[in-house]
């Protein structure tokens, strides 16, 4: 289609530069979209599609959204993975000669959002970049960098060695970026397709990144060399940082000076948790539904601020390996627990804080309005009291925080002096600057605010001069200020009155004096608006220049919030302080699963002990029926270890944790159809990964191995895996749950393997789960009883018992048994459904609104006797 109208030609020229974005093109009070963009936006936003004349009688598809509501529409598009280019009018349409100049002022992408309605309060929104390192034509490593432009966090690392691809994938799962910037060499790589759900963007000016990355970093961070950033001899990481900076320059089109706190880290500083382990342990989201509620984070997050909540998430996802650092955190938490009144004072003050990092991000970005500066002022006013409270703590970590605590008194005083108590929403509105801060603003306000009094004074003077008592001085938006005289007395108007408008009942006039007063009043309003806006911009810039200081204090407050939150959860949930050391033992007395306990209640949860070490009990081989609690028990051990190494108290009566460098889990059955992998193949891939990477300081949780293939194949694999792990070649401390009872014989050969089981009590054909780990092997799986609990038809259960008895009697492989009687489909259909248990029927019929507390207690006692 040939576009011939000037406005559509302008649109087309801009669109060609941003072909991968939806273009929001400003026309008056609306952002309009045309052509394919309009079709996409109409479908995704469910807004009306219209058409516009494109010239020569051609119609162009069109839709639009009001500019004042654009953020909500952009948020919906970003949530669906689109990028939005915002094209603004660069001049006042009233003053423009010809078509208004327009250009893109910002590109909003999933990894570059700043707007509050597009961000999750307790989660970072990362933009990440990866750069490959090649040697002799082969891939040898990766550089990884990621930034949250809403809070200023900026980090980089390098991954090398034969497992660098997998480690990069696991690290991407940990940081979970919203957007990933990749060079051409990595575009389409399956590593990023299967390991990350991030929107992928191409690296801008890849040659500049490859050849001039050092200059880019030196200029942006204002350093003499990369050594000052910790990036010397880490060129892949440095190039990844350069990619992010170039991408942000291209999309944000403004200064990024506040992104000046780069942290270079080594993955070896933290406990390694691969993607499967993070998923299986449900650290920050549940496996089913991917929800926060039901995760470990939902239980231990008792922080009071958004910045504290984000930091706690980082701690959970990156447990420490340095025992000294862990114990410094534990000392600080312990001190807060021992001072409950001080802890209450912290919990009273912290909720009053606004999200400092994100406020500063918007200030530096230039999008913060007067009310956001007021929120910053409100937060700064609380710093002296928080400083006073923190100074009462004596732990080493509290001392470090206190030394880094900048009270920002100059910024607080500036905001109190310059900003009004209740400023308007927009800097373009009157009232942002406090009276008394600027004498010219005060004078203009006086003049603008006294317009009514000045007009009344003039009205009184003109009545006195003319003798016309019904003379009025008024104003309307069309004609401005005027003097109005009724028809009956119009002839008495002085010659100095110039007729301006004739009405049905009167005449309106203007005088030189009134024109002069009008100019003074109107120019005062315009000048006041302009001056207030200028002063606000200067105020915001002064705050932006202190961004590094403010962010440093925000970091202190976030740490303080996490520590008090961990202290509060320890008190609230009766957690104990673990002994974290460099030894090789894991000893947990009366350990509990934090999430399951929070659901059931502490009084209903059965705690269990754990003992693992390198020299006497390296593997606990656990047997017992399904649903008895094996998985819960094994996961709780992993979670206790993980919590201990973030510096948290743990759900146990006592715990000694020798530092664990890696936790691996192999739990449950799942396929990966997108990768063409069956359930058994996924299981074997995960097992292979564990065996290749686990070492003497690792903790392995294996919940069934070999169940996805034939009995003998599966048993053989499970047997060999257990032997490999327990030998010194691996030597990891292991919890191994299995239904292959034959594996219990391993304890006779390997002294480092001990048999344990979940205690159950049989009652006729039924079983009761006691949820208690006891030493010794279990030779029954109770599968048929569990199937009965699941409601399988009675005929199926009866037939299963018959086959089981025959198998146990003849000891035949399942494929060789002779079926004495076939179970027909008609038999299954004719079978009556299992009768409803009497207790369940009684529970359903119980009127909980009418029953008394005493009757309820007696009923519960009766049910307990029937069950036990």
- The answer to whether residue 96 sits within a structural domain is yes
615 and 747 inside one domain: yes
- Beta strand pairing status for 506-510 and 608-612? unpaired
Among 67, 87, 108, give the residue marking a domain's end. 108
Q: Give the model's confidence band at 143: pLDDT under 50 very low, under 70 low, under 90 confident, else very high.
A: very high
Residue 113 lies in a domain: no
Token couple for 594 = 């934090």
In angstroms, rounded to a whole number, what is the distance separating the alpha carbons of residues 797 and 813? 20
Segment 481-502 mean pLDDT: 91
Beta strands in 615-752 (DSSP E): 619-623, 654-658, 662-667, 698-703, 733-737
Rounded to the nearest angstrom, the gap between the alpha carbon of residue 216 and the centroid of all alpha carbons in its chain is 30
Cα separation, 806 vs 740, whole angstroms: 19
Per the listing, tokens 């250009």 go with: 103
Domain identity same for 601 and 750 = yes
Binning pLDDT at 50, 70 and 90, where does residue 858 land? confident
Query: Does a structural domain hold residue 728?
Result: yes
CA distance 794 to 784: 11
Cα 22 from Cα 77, distance rounded (Å): 9
Compute the distance between CA of residue 616 and CA of residue 586 in angstroms, rounded to an integer.
12
Give residue 827's pLDDT.
43
Question: Is 60 exceeded by the pLDDT of residue 706?
Answer: yes
Quote the tokens at residue 751: 């002294």
pLDDT score of 850 more than 70: no
Residues 6+ apart with CB under 8 A from 770: 606, 758, 759, 760, 761
526-543 per-position pLDDT tens digit:
888 889 999 999 999 999
Residue 544 lies in a domain: no
Q: Is residue 288 part of a domain?
A: yes
Question: Between these two residues, 807 and 514, which has the higher pLDDT value?
Answer: 514
Are both 431 and 447 inside the same structural domain?
A: no
One domain, residues 461 and 317: no
Both 68 and 151 in one domain: the answer is no
Q: Tell me the three state secondary structure of residue 120.
A: coil
End-of-domain residue from the set 203, 235, 269: 269
pLDDT at 482: 92
Please check whether residues 738 and 650 belong to one and the same domain.
yes
Rounded average pLDDT over 495-504: 90
Give the helix ranges, DSSP H, for 651-781. 679-693, 711-726, 746-749
As a whole number of angstroms, the distance between CA 721 and CA 704 comes to 11
Whether 736 shows a pLDDT value over 90: the answer reads yes
Element (H, E) at 768: strand 766-775
For residues 695 and 795, state if they share a domain: no
Q: Specify whether the CB–CB gap between 240 and 129 falls below 8 A.
A: yes
Helical spans, DSSP H, in 545-627: 547-573, 594-600
What is the per-residue pLDDT for 558? 97
Which residue in 706, 699, 788 sits closest to 742, CA to CA?
Answer: 706
Q: What is the CATH number of the domain that holds 522?
A: 1.10.1420.10
Q: Looking at per-residue confidence, does 139 or 430 come out higher?
A: 430
Tell me the C-alpha distance between 356 and 554, whole Å. Answer: 6
Specify the pLDDT at position 832: 46
Select from 195, 178, 188 the least CA-distant residue to 129: 178
Q: Is residue 125 domain-resident?
A: yes
Does residue 609 sit within a domain?
yes
Kindly provide the residue ranges of all beta strands, DSSP E only, lying in 477-631, ordered along the sequence: 480-486, 498-502, 506-510, 579-581, 586-591, 608-612, 619-623
**CATH number of the CATH domain containing 96:** 3.40.1170.10
Determine the Cα–Cα distance for residues 38 and 50; give it in Å rounded to an integer.
9
Spatial separation of the C-alpha atoms in residues 263 and 319, rounded to whole Å: 17
Lowest mean pLDDT across 79-93, 494-508, 709-723: 709-723
Residue 220 confidence (pLDDT) above 70: yes
Is 735:694 a contact under the CB 8 Å cutoff? no
* Average pLDDT for the chain: 87
The span from the CA of 441 to the CA of 531, in Å, is: 7
Question: What's the pLDDT at 781?
Answer: 64
Q: Tell me, yes or no, whether 189 lies in a domain.
A: yes
Query: Confidence band (pLDDT; 50, 70, 90) for 626?
Result: confident
User: Above pLDDT 70, what percent of the chain?
Assistant: 89
Largest CA distance in the chain: 129
> Per the structure, how many domains does the chain have?
7
The residue length of the chain stands at: 868
Q: Is residue 420 helix, strand or coil?
A: coil
For residue 311, the surrounding DSSP H or E stretch is helix 306-317
Quickly count: other Cβ atoms within 10 Å of residue 509's Cβ.
21
Determine the Cα–Cα distance for residues 460 and 454; give it in Å rounded to an integer.
Answer: 10
Cα torsion 94, 95, 101, 103: sign: negative
**Residue from 156, 209, 163 nearest 183 by CA:** 209
Contact 458, 517 (CB under 8 A): yes
pLDDT digits (tens, 9 = 90+) for 358-367: 999 999 988 8
* 666-689 per-position pLDDT tens digit: 886 554 444 545 677 888 888 888
Helix (H, G, I), strand (E, B) or coil at 690: helix
First to last CA, the chain: 81
Q: How far apart are CA 518 and CA 513, in angstroms?
A: 9
Sign for the CA dihedral angle at 648, 653, 656, 662 comes to negative
Which of these, 240, 328, 261, 313, lies nearest to 283 by C-alpha position?
A: 313
Dist CA 846 CA 840 (whole Å): 10
Banded model confidence at residue 839, pLDDT cuts 50, 70, 90: low
The distance of Cα 570 from the centroid of its chain, to the nearest Å, equals 24
Cβ-based neighbours of 578, under 8 Å, separated by 6 or more: 330, 640, 643, 644, 649, 650, 652, 655, 656, 657
User: H helices then E strands: how many in the chain?
Assistant: 31, 27
Q: Which of 620, 583, 637, 618 is nearest to 729 (CA)?
A: 618
Pair (403, 516) in one structural domain: no
Helix residue ranges per DSSP H, 737-793: 746-749, 783-789
Q: For residue 545, is pLDDT > 60?
A: yes
d(CA 798, CA 805): 11
Instruction: Tell me what the mean pLDDT of segment 573-581 comes to.
Output: 96
Confidence of residue 868 (pLDDT cuts 50, 70, 90): low
| Number of other residues whose CB lies within 10 A of the CB of residue 71 | 16
Does residue 777 share a domain with residue 804?
no
Q: Which of 202, 556, 287, 517 is nearest to 404 (CA)?
A: 556
**pLDDT score of 315 more than 90:** yes
Distances (CA, A) of 280 to 288, 571, 829: 11, 27, 39
Angstrom CA distances, 199 to 4, 81, 128, stand at: 35, 6, 10
Q: Report, as an integer, the average pLDDT of 67-90.
A: 92
Do residues 634 and 737 lie in contact, with contact meaning Cβ atoms separated by under 8 Å? yes
Taking alpha carbons only, the member of 70, 561, 138 closest to residue 346 is 561
Question: Is the confidence at residue 854, as pLDDT, over 80?
Answer: no
Pick from 336, 331, 329, 284: nearest CA to 310: 284
Residue 653's nearest CA partner among 612, 614, 619, 608 is 608
Separation between Cα atoms, residue 849 and residue 412, nearest integer Å:
56
pLDDT band for position 18 (cuts 50, 70, 90): very high
Query: Does residue 694 contact residue 618 with C-beta atoms inside 8 Å?
Result: no
Q: Looking at 418-432, 651-665, 698-712, which range is the least confident one?
A: 698-712
Q: What is the DSSP letter of 433?
A: B
Question: 90, 108, 126: which is the final residue of a domain?
Answer: 108
Span 61-78, mean pLDDT?
Answer: 92
> With 0-12 CB in 10 A as exposed, 13-18 as middle and 19+ as buried, what is 375?
middle
81 pLDDT above the threshold of 80: yes
Tokens of 71: 């953020």
Checking if the pLDDT of 3 tops 60, the result is no
pLDDT in tens, 551-569: 999 999 999 999 999 999 9
Mean pLDDT of 300-319: 96
* H runs (alpha helix) in 318-369: 323-337, 340-349, 356-365
| pLDDT range class, residue 639, cuts 50, 70, 90 | very high
pLDDT tens, 740-770?
888 899 999 999 999 998 887 766 666 666 7
For residue 662, give the 3-state DSSP assignment. strand
Q: Dihedral sign for Cα 40, 45, 49, 51, please.
A: negative
Q: Are residues 249 and 398 in the same domain?
A: no
Q: pLDDT tier at 595 (50, 70, 90 boundaries)?
A: very high
| Angle between the N-to-C axes of helices 512-544 and 409-418, in degrees from 0 to 180, rounded to the nearest 10 | 170
> Which tens digit of pLDDT belongs to each residue from 165-215?
888 988 998 999 999 999 988 887 877 765 556 888 988 888 888 889 999
Using DSSP, state whether 321 is helix, strand or coil. Answer: coil
Calculate the alpha carbon distances from 233 to 74, 213, 716 in Å.
Answer: 41, 13, 47
- The verdict on 774 and 678 lying in the same domain is yes
Shared domain check, 387 and 337? yes
* Chain segment 222-236, per-residue pLDDT in tens: 998 898 899 988 999
Q: Could you tell me the residue range of the domain that residue 400 belongs to?
A: 275-436+549-567
Candidate from 139-143, 552-556, 784-788 with smallest mean pLDDT: 784-788
pLDDT given for residue 816 in this prediction:
45
Query: Which of helix, strand or coil describes residue 334?
Result: helix
């Amino acid at each position: 289609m040939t576009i011939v109208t000037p406005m559509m030609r302008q649109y087309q020229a801009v669109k060609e530069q941003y072909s991968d974005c939806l273009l929001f093109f400003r026309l008056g009070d609306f952002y309009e979209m045309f052509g394919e963009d309009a079709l996409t936006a109409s479908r995704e936003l469910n807004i009306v599609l219209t058409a516009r004349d494109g010239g020569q009688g051609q119609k162009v598809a069109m839709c639009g959204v009001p500019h004042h509501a654009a953020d909500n529409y952009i948020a919906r598009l970003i949530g669906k993975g689109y990028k939005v280019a915002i094209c603004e009018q660069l001049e006042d349409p009233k003053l423009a000669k010809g078509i208004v100049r327009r250009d893109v002022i910002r590109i909003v992408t999933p990894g570059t959002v700043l707007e509050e309605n597009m961000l999750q309060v307790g989660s970072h929104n990362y933009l990440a970049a990866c750069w490959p390192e090649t040697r002799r034509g082969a891939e040898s490593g990766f550089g990884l960098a990621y930034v949250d432009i809403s809070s200023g966090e900026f980090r980089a690392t390098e991954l090398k060695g034969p497992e660098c691809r997998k480690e990069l994938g696991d690290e991407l799962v940990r940081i979970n970026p919203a957007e990933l910037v990749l060079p051409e060499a990595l575009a389409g790589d399956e590593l990023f397709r299967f390991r990350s759900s991030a929107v992928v963007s191409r690296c801008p000016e890849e040659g500049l990144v490859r050849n001039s990355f050092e200059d880019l970093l030196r200029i942006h961070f204002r350093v003499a060399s990369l050594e000052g950033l910790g990036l010397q001899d880490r060129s892949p990481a440095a190039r990844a940082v350069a990619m992010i900076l170039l991408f942000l320059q291209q999309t944000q089109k403004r200064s990024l000076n506040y992104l000046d706190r780069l942290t270079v880290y080594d993955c070896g500083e933290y406990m390694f948790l691969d993607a499967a382990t993070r998923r299986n342990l449900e650290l920050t989201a549940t496996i089913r539904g991917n929800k926060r509620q039901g995760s470990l984070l939902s239980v231990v997050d008792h922080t009071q601020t958004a910045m504290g909540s984000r930091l706690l998430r980082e701690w959970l996802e990156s447990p420490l390996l340095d025992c000294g650092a862990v114990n410094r955190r534990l000392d600080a938490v312990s001190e807060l627990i021992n001072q409950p009144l001080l802890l209450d004072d912290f919990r009273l003050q912290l909720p009053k804080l606004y999200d400092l990092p994100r406020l500063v991000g918007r200030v530096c970005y230039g999008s913060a309005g007067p009310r956001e500066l007021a929120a910053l002022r409100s937060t700064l006013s609380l710093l002296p009291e928080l400083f006073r409270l923190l100074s009462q703590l004596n732990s080493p970590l509290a001392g470090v925080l206190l030394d880094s605590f900048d009270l920002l008194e100059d910024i607080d005083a500036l905001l109190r002096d310059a900003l009004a108590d209740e400023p308007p929403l927009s800097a373009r509105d009157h009232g942002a600057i406090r009276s008394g801060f600027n004498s010219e603003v005060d004078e203009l306000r006086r003049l603008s605010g006294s317009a009514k009094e000045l007009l009344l004074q003039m009205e009184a003077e003109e009545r006195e001069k003319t003798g016309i008592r019904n003379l009025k001085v008024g104003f309307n938006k069309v004609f401005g200020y005027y003097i109005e005289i009724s028809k009956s007395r119009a002839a008495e108007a002085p010659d100095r009155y110039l007729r301006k408008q004739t009405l049905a009942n009167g005449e309106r006039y203007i005088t030189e004096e009134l024109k002069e007063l009008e100019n003074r009043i109107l120019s005062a309003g315009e000048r006041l608006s302009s001056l207030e806006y200028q002063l606000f911009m200067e105020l915001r810039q002064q705050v932006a220049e202190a961004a590094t200081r403010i962010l440093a204090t925000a970091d202190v407050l976030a740490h303080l919030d996490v520590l008090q939150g961990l202290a509060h959860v320890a008190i609230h949930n009766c957690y104990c302080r673990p002994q974290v050391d460099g030894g090789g033992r894991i000893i947990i007395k009366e350990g509990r699963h934090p999430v399951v306990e929070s659901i059931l209640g502490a009084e209903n949860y059965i705690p269990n002990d754990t003992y693992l070490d390198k020299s006497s009990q390296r593997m606990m081989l656990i047997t017992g029926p399904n649903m008895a609690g094996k998985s819960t028990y094994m996961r709780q051990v992993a979670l206790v270890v993980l919590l201990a190494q973030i510096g948290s108290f743990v759900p146990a009566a006592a715990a000694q944790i020798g530092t664990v460098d890696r936790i691996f889990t192999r739990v449950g059955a799942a396929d990966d159809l997108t990768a063409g992998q069956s359930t058994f193949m996924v299981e074997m891939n995960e097992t292979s990964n564990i065996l290749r990477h686990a070492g003497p300081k690792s903790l392995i949780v294996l919940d069934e191995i070999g169940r996805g293939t034939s009995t003998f194949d599966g048993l053989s694999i499970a047997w060999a895996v257990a032997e490999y792990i327990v030998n010194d070649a691996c030597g990891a401390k292991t919890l191994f749950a299995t239904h292959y009872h034959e594996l219990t014989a391993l304890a006779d050969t390997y002294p480092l393997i001990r048999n344990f089981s979940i205690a159950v009590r049989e009652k006729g054909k039924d079983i009761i789960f006691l949820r208690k780990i006891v030493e010794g092997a279990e030779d029954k799986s109770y599968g048929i009883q569990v199937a009965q609990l699941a409601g399988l038809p009675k005929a199926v259960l009866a037939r299963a018992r018959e086959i089981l008895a025959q198998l146990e009697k003849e000891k035949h492989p399942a494929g060789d048994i002779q079926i004495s009687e076939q179970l027909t489909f008609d038999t299954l259909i004719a079978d009556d459904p299992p009768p409803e248990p009497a207790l369940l029927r009684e529970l359903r019929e119980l009127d909980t609104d009418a029953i008394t507390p005493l009757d309820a207690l007696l009923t519960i006692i009766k049910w307990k006797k029937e069950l036990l």
